[in-house]
Structure 1
Amino acid sequence: MTSVFIIFTLATAALAKGVIECNFLEHTGPGLCSGAVGQLLIFHLTVAVNPDIVLKKDNKHMILKVKNHSVTGNNEEYESFTNGILKLGKATKRHSGDYLLEEYGSNGNLLKKINVQLEITATVSKPAVSQVCLSPDLMNISCSSEGDAVEFTLTLDGHLLLRTEGCSLRQSSGTINHQTEDRSSVSSVTVSLYGQLTGHLMCHVGNNVSRDETVVHLTNCGEVSSVCVVTVAVTAGVVSLLLLGLLCLWIKRLRNQSRPTTVDEGNGEAEIIYSHVRVTQKPRA
């Protein structure tokens, strides 16, 4: 089986920048607040002076309680509460949930009750793209990314190959086998294409809080005649490309040396002498 295997990855994804501000002041019914992991999370609870309030999560976890100017609650859940503003620090997935705010008057009467649903989403990582030549006429292209609710778009020289939207799939005309996986917040798609296609393949990933893309150049599987496994990291840049070029030149030189040669024995017949070359590569430590 002829294989070309190329992987583009990014070692570390940066945390999302920005602020998530959930407003409990303007909602007359259930509200929705959303943001990305790593963003600063702030709740605007009340504008009342010296209010009596209770804030619970999922109707069971006490986050904050203020009564008669005394502030109590689970200090591990927030950083500070000042002038009706609650700062919870950097958002994590555990902050997701249903929050209930109850505000009381000085006479103990309930003034308002507000529900806000908070959804914290993990940002997508830079997609890893691989090409595997199964034969001169068939290749598999895979793209994977970490994150929540990842949506994929694959294009070849600007022409749409595949697009996922939530749980649905859209694809261009032609035969494309599609597979998806979702394990530990890692999603991937795989398409099967004609092995002699070339061009710039782009994998674009995104969700409601982030997006990223990777572009690779497809190799013609019909021009590959030996098993070649290459791994390239995006962060390696020019150095990796130079090493890749040297490796390909080395393999080409070895193949030329392995071609059969003829020896003329003087009787008009030629004896074919074969040389055998084995290329091995030690796995990286």
Structure 2
Amino acid sequence: MKAVIRLQLMLIGVYSVKLSCDGREDGAQCYGALGGAVDLMLVDNVSEIPRFNWRKNSSTILRWRNSTVYNTKESRFLFFPSNGTVRISNLIRTDSGEYKLELNDKDGKKTGRRTLQLYVQAPMSSVQLVSECLSQGQMKVSCLSEGGDSPQYSWTLDGHILTDSELLSRNYENNIIVLRQNISGHLICSVTNQVSYSFNQMNISGCGLSHLLILGLRATVVILPLTGMSLYFTWRRKKCEKADDSAVSQIIEDLDNSVLMIEMKSPTQ
């Protein structure tokens, strides 16, 4: 016997992670939220750098020449000389990729080179919790997230990570947990990726014996009328069949009596 129970949801949260990245180290890995913005720090003191080019693949995005920046791409790319940071706004999927910074002296001689990898991810939207009491008193809880790339799930009960004494099983692929009998408390499912954080929470009271009795009574309320209706129609069918048999027997008896009457009258003629 199973019953799906949607417990009262107390609070739902969806948060975006502050997106900035230090790209001064060669090989830096940075993340941006799809549709959002990211700040990438490229250099320490731009006043000490006569020239640099910032490229993605073979396309030049920014040029710095003698304290002047030349933006060769669309206006979504802005460079702030005060802190050596470039901001990319309204991020799209194709902004993902490898970016190269080439540093030059005033004569154009190369003095350094660095790369960074940018990953654009869709942020999480919302999280839904659905619980279900199983026949043996365990509670099955599903954490369902909408949208978002590369989600990572985590569970806590009353502020601590679920223990083996509380958790019977967990499906990491579908993110479904099964709690042991009579587990209660404040349950939270958190979903994160590199650009956002989302969660949902509920108070659970377990699926103990009393709950199973209630489910059994509810099932009985449904089953008994159905059983009664089945018995009634069976009785009616048998009654009709018995009545039909009686009618046939009466007809045969009447026919027999008629034949006898004819035989009794024949000798007198």
Question: Per the shorter chain, which TM-score range?
Answer: 0.5 to 0.7
Deviation for aligned residue 1:116: 2.2
Contact 2:19 2:31 in 1 (8 A): no
2:178 equivalent among 192, 201, 206: 192
Pair 208,40 (structure 1): closer, same or farther in 2 beyond 3 Å: closer
Give the whole-Å Cα distance in 2 for the aligned partners of 1:72 and 1:140: 55
Contact 1:2 1:136 in 2 (8 A): no
Deviation for aligned residue 1:90: 4.3
Q: What is the match of residue 112 of structure 2? A: 112
Q: What is the match of residue 187 of structure 2? A: 201
Give the whole-Å Cα distance in 2 for the aligned partners of 1:257 and 1:150: 42
Give the whole-Å Cα distance in 1 for the aligned partners of 2:159 and 2:181: 19
Pair 2,75 (structure 1): closer, same or farther in 2 beyond 3 Å: same
| Larger fraction in helix | 2
Q: What is the match of residue 80 of structure 1? A: 78
1:219-261 residue CA offsets vs partner (Å, 9 max, x unmatched): 52514427xxxxxxxxxxxxxxxxxxxxxxxxx8xx989988x
Q: What is the match of residue 143 of structure 2? A: 143
Give the whole-Å Cα distance in 1 for the aligned partners of 2:80 and 2:153: 42
Give the whole-Å Cα distance in 1 for the aligned partners of 2:13 and 2:188: 20
Q: How does 1:1-285 map to 2 (within 5 A)?
A: 1-6=1-6, 13=14, 16=16, 18=18, 20-24=20-24, 27=25, 29-34=26-31, 36-37=33-34, 38-45=36-43, 47-48=46-47, 51-57=50-56, 59-65=57-63, 71=70, 73-75=72-74, 78-81=76-79, 83=81, 85-92=85-92, 94-145=94-145, 146-158=147-159, 160-161=161-162, 172-173=164-165, 176-181=168-173, 188-194=174-180, 196-218=182-204, 220=207, 221-225=211-215
Pair 3,92 (structure 1): closer, same or farther in 2 beyond 3 Å: same
Deviation for aligned residue 1:143: 1.2
Give the whole-Å Cα distance in 2 for the aligned partners of 1:151 and 1:70: 40
Q: Tell me the SS of whatever aligns to 2:175.
A: strand
Deviation for aligned residue 1:56: 1.7
Deviation for aligned residue 1:95: 3.3
1:39-66 residue CA offsets vs partner (Å, 9 max, x unmatched): 4434445614784432122x34432345
1:12-67 residue CA offsets vs partner (Å, 9 max, x unmatched): 946x264525444xx4x43344455524434445614784432122x344323456
Letter in 2 for 1:31: A
Contact 2:62 2:69 in 1 (8 A): no
- Which segment drifts farther, 1-10 or 146-155? 1-10
Letter in 1 for 2:172: T
Unaligned segments of structure 2, at least 5 residues: 231-269
Deviation for aligned residue 1:10: 8.6
Unaligned segments of structure 1, at least 5 residues: 162-170, 182-187, 227-251, 261-272, 277-285
Two-structure CA RMSD over aligned residues (Å):
4.3
Give the whole-Å Cα distance in 2 for the aligned partners of 1:44 and 1:87: 10
Q: Tell me the SS of whatever aligns to 1:225.
A: helix
Q: Tell me the SS of whatever aligns to 2:212.
A: helix
Letter in 2 for 1:222: L
Query: How many aligned positions are there?
Result: 218
TM-score calculated relative to the size of structure 1: 0.56
Contact 1:103 1:111 in 2 (8 A): yes
Pair 108,30 (structure 1): closer, same or farther in 2 beyond 3 Å: same
Give the whole-Å Cα distance in 2 for the aligned partners of 1:33 and 1:105: 27
Percent of residue pairs bearing the same amino acid type: 25
Give the whole-Å Cα distance in 2 for the aligned partners of 1:19 and 1:158: 27
Q: What is the match of residue 246 of structure 2? A: none
Q: Tell me the SS of whatever aligns to 1:137.
A: coil
| Larger fraction in strand | 1
Deviation for aligned residue 1:114: 1.6
Deviation for aligned residue 1:202: 2.4
Contact 1:9 1:128 in 2 (8 A): no
